[in-house]
Structure 1
Amino acid sequence: MKLFSYSSCSTCRRAIKWLKNNDITFELIDILNSPPSKEMLISASELYGDRKYLLNTSGVVYRSIGSNVVKEMTDSELFEKLVREPRLIKRPFLYKPNKFFLIGFKEEKWAEKLL
C-alpha cells in the first residue's frame, strides 16, 4: 500500500498517525517528489466516478488556476496538470494494488475500508 503525502499537510499527518496506530503497513511517498502516475489518477477518477474528487480545491495552486479554467480542461489536460502540479491532488492519496484508492482522510471511511 502506498500513501502519497505532503509533509506540511496536517490531514496527511493525521492519516499517517491513524495508519500507525492501527498497525497498517504502508509505504510513505512524498507526493511532490513522486506524484501518482497518470494511470493511477485516471483509475482513481473512474473509481470515484468524477475527476473532481482528485482535486485539492482549497489549495493555492487550484485557486491560482481558477475553478472555471479547471472545469474547462479536458480529462487529458487535467491529468497531465495533476502529474506536473502535484499540489493540485487532494491528499493524502492512498493506493493499494487492484485499483483501490482512498483520497483525503476521513477516519470513519478509512476504518470501514482498511480495518
Structure 2
Amino acid sequence: MGLTYYAYPKCGTCRKAKNWLEMNGVDFEEVNITENPPAEDVLSEIIAVSGLELKKFFNVSGTKYREMNLKDKLLTMTDEEKISLLSSDGMLIKRPLVYGDGKVTVGFNEEDFENVWKN
C-alpha cells in the first residue's frame, strides 16, 4: 500500500511537510484535501489505524470550524456524524494528513515525521 498525503496546496505547514517527505525520499501520492477529502470509510480506517481521538482530526484553528461553531456542536454529535462532517469538507480536517503502511500522522511535526516516515 502506498502513502497518501492529503494537503491543501496553499497551506504553509503542508508545504513544509511535503518538502520533508521529498527531501527524505518518501514516495507518496498527493491529494488536494479540499477537492478530494477522504471518503467516510477511508477516514474511519485512518482514524482507527491512528489510535488518536477523533477530535484530533478537526482543524480547530480553521475558519470553517469557528464559523460552524463546531467546538460546541461536536459535544452532541456521534462519531459517525463527525466522520461524515469531516469527509464532507476537507477544510475541516487538520492537515496535512499522511496515511499508509499502517501508519498515520496528522499535522506536521518534524520529529513525528522522522519517527514515522523515515525509511
TM-score (structure 2 length as normaliser): 0.89
Q: Please say if 1:75 is aligned against 2:79.
A: yes
2:100 to 96, 100, 105: 96
Letter paired with 1:5 = A
**Structure 2 CA distance for aligned equivalents of residues 106 and 88 of structure 1:** 19
Write the deviation string for residues 59-90 of structure 1: whole angstroms up to 9, x where unpaired: 00111111001222111111111111111000
Unaligned runs of 5+ in 2: none
Letter paired with 2:36 = S
Q: Please say if 1:14 is aligned against 2:12.
A: no
Farther-moved stretch of structure 1 (37-46 vs 4-13): 37-46
Give every structure 1 segment of 4 or more consecutive aligned residues whose post-TM-superposition deviation is greater than 6 Å. Answer: none
Q: Please say if 1:49 is aligned against 2:57.
A: no
Letter paired with 1:69 = K
**Structure 2 CA distance for aligned equivalents of residues 32 and 21 of structure 1:** 25
**Structure 2 CA distance for aligned equivalents of residues 71 and 43 of structure 1:** 22
Tell me if structure 2 keeps the 8 A contact 1:54–1:90. yes
Equivalence for 1:34: 36
2:91 to 87, 90, 93: 87
**Deviation for aligned residue 1:57:** 0.1
**Deviation for aligned residue 1:43:** 2.6
Percent identity, aligned pairs only? 32
Unaligned runs of 5+ in 1: none
Letter paired with 1:40 = V
**Structure 1 CA distance for aligned equivalents of residues 92 and 79 of structure 2:** 14
Aligned length: 114
**Deviation for aligned residue 1:108:** 0.2
**Deviation for aligned residue 1:3:** 0.2
Letter paired with 1:21 = M
**Deviation for aligned residue 1:15:** 0.2
Alignment RMSD (CA, Å): 1.2
